[in-house]
Amino acid sequence: MMFWILQTLNGVSFGMLLFLLASGLSLIYGLMRILNLAHGSFYLLGGYIGLALLKSTGSFVAAALGASLAVALLGVVVERTLLRRLHLREMPQVLFTFGLLLVISDFSILQWGGAPETVPKPELFSRSVQLGSFVYPSYRLFIIGFGFAVAAVLWWLQERTRIGAMVRAGVDNEEIARALGINVSLLFTIVFGFGAFLAALGGIMGGPIVGVYPGADFEVLLLGFVVVIIGGLGSLRGALIGGLAVGLLDNFGKVFFPEFALFTIFAPMVLILALRPTGLFGRA
């Protein structure tokens, strides 16, 4: 019994990290129709900058906030100066974000070296707790709570605020939204920056579990895409359900079919693409 609970906790905590990453990706695509391949870079930079801030300030909260804001700023600058020149041109957008991914990947190695780094946990959650006969890291439990909190905040923003309504309008139909006087241009910048913020937050929050190292951007991006495909692009609910689904599938897959660890993630993705291409909660 305990074993099942443990594995479920594992899957859910990993799923929450995926949710943080996928939510930004989904939001950006939903509103701007941009497949942001540089999202993995935002995750990576969040990890590296967060680690640097942690080393210099000693405060995990400062590191997480500082890094996410810094990367959000980068996102805003990239969107304003470069990405918006490619509005509605899908292929150039994808190529551009891919190029950005490669550039930032190499830059990280130049700046921080290639050695894999470990991120120390925040003092409050650095110990493991006893759960029945098992020992379990309290940080992972924190991540589960944190993920749900972020999901709640995002839901509230989307459903109960004016800006959320504007974003939903923009997702539904950009032209009509513009015609109604919504400053869609500004909205794009805000959403892109916010998406980057969430990805970077995932990077530093995930640091104590997964570490920060060259190649993390590509690995996490791949998982992020699986989540948005399963959950549906443009849907916050999809990012959460998709993230949890992938986290649990990944975890239980490794437990029961260790030789097919990748298969257990990608097979459901293929099924969704075949049976319901817009994802569980996506829009056409």
Partner 1 sequence: MKRLPVIASVLAAAALGWPAQAADPIKIGVMFPLTGPIAVQAAPERDAIKQAFEEENSTVAGRKIVLLFEDSAGRPDTGLTKVKALVERDKVDLLVAELVGSVGAAMAPYVTAQKVPWVNTVGISSLTRAQKSPYIFRFAPSAYQYGLAAAESAKKLGWKKVYFIGWNAPAGHESFEAAQKVFGADNVLEPMFPNVGTADFAPYLTRIDASKADGVLIAMWGADAPRVIAQFAELGLSAKLPMFGIASFTSEELLGSMPPESVGVLSSYTYCGTLDTPENKAFVAGYKQRNNGLPGSYQYMGYQAAKMVIQAIKDVKGNVEDRDAFIAALEKVQIKGPMGVTKFDKNHGIVADFYLLKVEKGTDGQLRNRCGDKLSQVEDPYNLFP
What does the binding site for partner 1 look like in residue numbers (CB under 8 A)?
Answer: 3, 6-7, 10, 14, 106, 109, 113-118, 120, 128, 134-137, 139, 208-211, 213-215, 219-220, 250-252, 254-255, 258-259, 261-262
Take residue 278 and report the two structure tokens written for it.
């817009």
- CB-nearer residue toward partner 1: 69 or 255: 255
Q: Tell me the residue ranges of DSSP E strands in the chain.
A: 128-131, 134-137
As a dihedral over the C-alpha atoms of residue 278, residue 280, residue 281, residue 284, rounded to 10 degrees, the angle is 10
C-beta closer to partner 1: residue 1 or 91: 1
State the minimum distance, in angstroms, from the CB of residue 58 to partner 1. Answer: 16
**Least Å distance between CB 253 and partner 1?**
8
Contact 244, 12 (CB under 8 A): yes
Of 142 and 281, CB closest to partner 1 = 142
Q: Kindly tell me which of 214 and 231 has the beta carbon lying closer to partner 1.
A: 214
Place of tokens 């909660």: 281
Q: Token digits for 76?
A: 């805003």
Rg (CA), the chain: 19
Take residue 180 and report the two structure tokens written for it. Answer: 């109604």
Pick from 36, 29, 49: nearest CA to 203: 49
Minimal distance, residue 275 CB to partner 1, in Å = 27
| CB of residue 14 to partner 1, shortest distance in Å | 5
The total of other beta-carbon atoms located within 10 Å of residue 135's CB is 11
Token readout for 59 is 């405060």
Least CB distance to partner 1 at residue 238 (A): 22
Which of 14, 29 has the CB closer to partner 1? 14
* Six-digit token string for 9: 């906790």
Closer residue to partner 1 in complex, CB, 13/23: 13
Which residue is it, tokens 């913020």? 197
The distance of closest approach from Cβ of residue 9 to partner 1 in the complex, given in angstroms and rounded to an integer, is 9
